[in-house]
Chain A
């Protein structure tokens, strides 16, 4: 699998090269692995280990820190991952950063499962640090620990685009790291394993620069350009489902060109930030599916078979539309409420399996993906309108962007309506969903789902409030309800 492949590539190569004060006394010594555990009489706090992450072509990081709060010595830098071909900031800066990250955390509750986030911008030191503070076991005792991603100041803007995605990735990885640390006290193996995950994660980020979408969508890339032809009916289904699943889609197909056409088309409906977290497929680079990328693709093998990464799909924050370009097939992973439950279960099971060293073979059944057949006048009208507009000068793209703003206004109107009707959630919706849909002219199922997905992004939780808990009846009366 990928993990083993990556870990083979990676070795803890340099050790004790950067040991701060130690450097002067021991630079000529050939230190062995035990060195850092025993410490030295001189300054045990300043010893840390380093390793290097390799094969990441375009990495926006300059280093990754792992530090913890030492009960005697305070903030202590423990391990540094350098990035191949990237300049690591000087040691004193790294040490300073570890102090910063852990500052003010001494009163933290140790047994809380939260992973807190801190973000530092230090222009005078030319660094931006994005760090995660958590508690995990260290030497038979719980300790405050943190992972800090150090990047040069110039990459701040790039980082902000990736922020959401990075959060999700690292939180998942850190949850797993905590399990490993719980099993064994910090050892080389744990760090090696974590290094492998880091490598995979940042390979993915690197691929975003390599095969990302242009910031400003180009009509010529999309199916709205007269040069390309894609059946309008298929396009209609794709877009409807894509908007319903919060703008998350996986496109599979045999020809990279066709897959990319669909990816570019769908990405027009995403926000700028989401578009930055989407990628095209490249023939020669078979990247695997990564959770929480907005629009991505997979290329089928020669014989047309593909294994859908069910588990990873469920790991994503939002449901996903799966589009088979070859068979003109549009499916959806379980819709929001159910997705949320499953997402939680999958993430939890992953941790449990890691803890008990089981390989999770109970793969998720394909049947849980539903064919997406919804009507949406919003989308059909849009497609019709687009066909009336000139294909020049970005008019079509501008019209789609206006459509997205229109959706946002609809969502805002829905939220306002619900806020008034339920006194900001303190009482259940009186008239029920049916009245709401009538009042807001959202009687068509597809329209309603598109708008409510947009609303959920604006106001997280509103979906559950409307479609979840108390509204089970309405939820189950729908075809989706049957598969629960």
Chain B
């Protein structure tokens, strides 16, 4: 219909033109160039001749040749591109303002599109360097980022900042250089002038004006030489260069002129080294400068412009090196697909508050606290009818404080749980950051011992409740006493609560036949009551009640004690008991410090929209370094290389069947061992790499993934390892103790030993294995799938664990309480559409987030809480 409209219009127009006789004749037709073109966009821009990759070009306005390109990044970038013509175009205009006298001009950034000759878009940064041999002391340079993708524009601004920095460093360094040279010159001028009287008046006059000029320049430059950070940076670089220089064959092959620079490192260092140290006092420096010998200055200062001026690297010294490095990283960042950049900028905000990031397979999946305002003032709609009391009923900053403290408390409670036992075990290891470190290992040994505890309960039932219980609106439970942490309880209250809990404990004991346990409990209660007398604040109060409660629960849950294992471990436990008082006291201190940390931002709360929690950082969105090994999806997909998590996953999924059991184990925190003979090492490593796609929260590779271990694993290794490849020797490859707690996939026999899994979530992803041809596609899809799960976890975390699930426990026994709790978890997850068999996944992921929140603020002595769940589950053998 509209396609015909042009003709219709031109037909109508015939009358029109007659009416408008006075108009120009040529207005009757419409030149085609004025009409828009119908452009069908091709998403991949294939088939065009302009399909070169992006590159960075650095150009100079040479005094002799005019604009000329100096170097490109990468070295062969834009080889089919007329760089000469392009640099003429971008350098065509002088960006300096020609004011009288010497002045520093700031840089100019230009973004331009060219649809004609070059058909590219470019971001150009113009800057000037200063050179006392150059015309007007100024050498104009520019660098341009050339791309065929128009959508880079939005990123231009971000680039500005980094380039600014880069340029600034160059500038600064050179101005220093300029300064020193000028001073030398000034001094030499004087030294020459004084002894000789036969100088002509004009020469003196010349020198005088030069000196004045230099003084003016110095006045302008001096206040700018104040970037201590950069100076330090240069200084360290210089030192490093000294070391490097002594080594032969230092290969720096990055770009054209850098080699030159390396060659002169020695001289450059000798020249500038002392300068950095004595930066504050250039005159003083001059006295000490041995290298420089004053020489006669040509008084007939007719500048020769035919000689080549110093190169960029000469001009900028260390700044150039830093700058080039920056430029390369910029190039690496922006050469990627616009789509990747978009995704990355979208997701990078997830990394903002590291305390609650959930990452799976080295890729950020969700952040449970990002963009949440944890302040009562922000709590939107309730503001209208808010009363002071309400604060405790909302989950607000107070509550998160509580929750994170409760996380610590869960440790305390687990400490005291050591009174319980069964064949299933529960270990808490308070480990140093670097457990490889021998020193720290030795130190931590006793503590680890003391923290060994055994309980009959599974991880999820033990730790998840502690999250749940932390909520003020869900009553912190002792049998008949309820504490609201916001509430200030009197000493009487506390005492009564203690006695309550004591009576409660004894109730628990009455059901327990083991007297040893009884005495242990007495011990721990004793230590707690001692602590009680010391502690004054409310939080402590809740800790104690918590402690006691958990103990009760622990003893309750330990049904018929299995004597054999119990005896073997009882000595260990006794050791632990001695430490109870100390350790809980210590944690108490930690709690206080934590509470201080958390409450500090709360004290000056009234500003809304400020930060979500105390930890939130502000940093520039550009060139975000992966934070402790967590990438955004865009980053991850672009940098896929052999060894990245998930590589080879398609192959593995197609080769082995029944992998859902393995993935289930990984996603529920069960340790997975891949075993094979020495011949199969590569296959095992491949499997481990592929499966690590599903591993939650592994940040550094060595931490919880072991690609190949020729030694058999010991039970103590299990505290950190989540996924490992193990060599199968002739004898027993895996210790039977270890075997109990692990899911095993045997590459040689092709069998899987794993707990059963009947859920739907994992089957969903496995069923897609035929749909994707490359690993990257599958990884992308998997991360969608994981994100979907993560959003369920998010709801579970916020609505159930932190939320309003007011589980009123009026049942007298703990077992019914546990039952009730499990039921309510199930009920909630069913409402979310989660199958029963999938709920452990959700619960485990919630647990993972809780643990990070716990660990994000390391304890005072730098130790970390590293609970390891070794739970026994009935396993079955499957073929794979």
Contacts and interface: CB of A to CB of B under 8 A. Distances in A.
Interface of A: 96, 99-100, 103-104, 107-109, 111-114, 116-125, 135, 156, 160, 163, 175, 178-179, 182-184, 216, 218-220, 225-227, 271, 273, 341-342, 344-349, 351-353, 355-358, 362, 381, 385, 388-395, 397-399, 401-406, 408-410, 412-413, 415-417, 419-421, 424-426, 438-441, 458-462, 464-465, 468-469
B46 A426 contact: yes
A415 B37 CA distance: 27
Contact of B343 (A160, A342, A408): A408
Interface stretch (B88-96, B419-427, B537-545): B88-96
Nearest to B370: A398
Given A104-B89, A114-B115, A355-B30, A415 B154 contact: no
B381 A358 contact: no
A257 to B, nearest CB: 16
A352 B16 contact: no
B42 A425 contact: yes
Interface in B392-415: 394-396
A389 B799 contact: yes
A391 B92 contact: no
Interface stretch (B2-10, B455-463, B685-693): B2-10
Interface in B405-459: none
Closest 6 A-B residue pairs measured CB to CB?
A: A124-B106, A461-B41, A103-B93, A439-B771, A461-B43, A119-B111
27 contacts: A104-B89, A112-B116, A113-B34, A116-B116, A117-B111, A121-B160, A124-B97, A125-B97, A348-B6, A352-B6, A388-B795, A388-B831, A389-B799, A393-B374, A393-B375, A394-B371, A405-B347, A409-B784, A413-B783, A416-B637, A416-B781, A425-B44, A439-B771, A440-B771, A440-B781, A441-B764, A461-B40
Given A220-B381, A341-B38, A388-B799, 12 more contacts: A109-B116, A117-B112, A123-B108, A355-B27, A393-B373, A405-B347, A412-B633, A420-B773, A458-B343, A459-B339, A461-B44, A465-B43
B305 interface: no
Contacts of B723: none
B101 interface: no
Nearest to B119: A114
Contacts of A344: 36, 38
B105 A462 contact: no
Contacts of A104: 88-90, 92-93
Contacts of A348: 6, 35-36
B156 interface: yes
Contact of A116 (B46, B107, B112, B784): B112
Contacts, number: 283
Contacts of A408: 342-343, 346-347
A156 B110 contact: no
Contacts of A122: 95, 106, 108-109
B112 A342 contact: no
Nearest to A126: B106
A349 B1 CA distance: 12
B379 interface: yes
A119 B93 contact: no
Contact of A112 (B24, B115, B395): B115
B395 A393 contact: yes
Contacts of B116: 107-109, 112, 114, 116
Q: Interface majority SS on A: helix, strand, loop or mixed? A: helix
Most buried by A among B46, B156, B772: B772
Contacts of A355: 27, 30, 34
A416 B371 contact: no
Interface stretch (B236-244, B656-664, B786-794): B786-794
B219 to A, nearest CB: 18
A194 B691 CA distance: 63
A370 B151 CA distance: 31
B832 interface: yes
B140 to A, nearest CB: 13
A175 B803 CA distance: 57
Given A182-B30, A227-B381, A392-B380, A119 B44 contact: no
Nearest to B783: A409
A424 to B, nearest CB: 4
Contacts of B36: 113, 175, 344, 347-348, 351
Given A116-B114, A125-B97, A439 B768 contact: yes
Most buried by B among A117, A160, A341: A117
A406 B788 contact: yes
A120 B774 contact: no
Contact of A416 (B90, B380, B764, B776): B776
Contacts of B9: 349, 352-353, 356, 358
A417 B35 CA distance: 37
B33 interface: yes
A147 to B, nearest CB: 15
A397 B117 CA distance: 47
A225 to B, nearest CB: 5
A392 B395 contact: yes
B29 to A, nearest CB: 9
A351 B34 contact: yes
Given A125-B97, A226-B381, A388-B831, A358 B16 contact: yes
B115 A402 contact: no
Interface string B356-386: 0000000000100011111100111110000
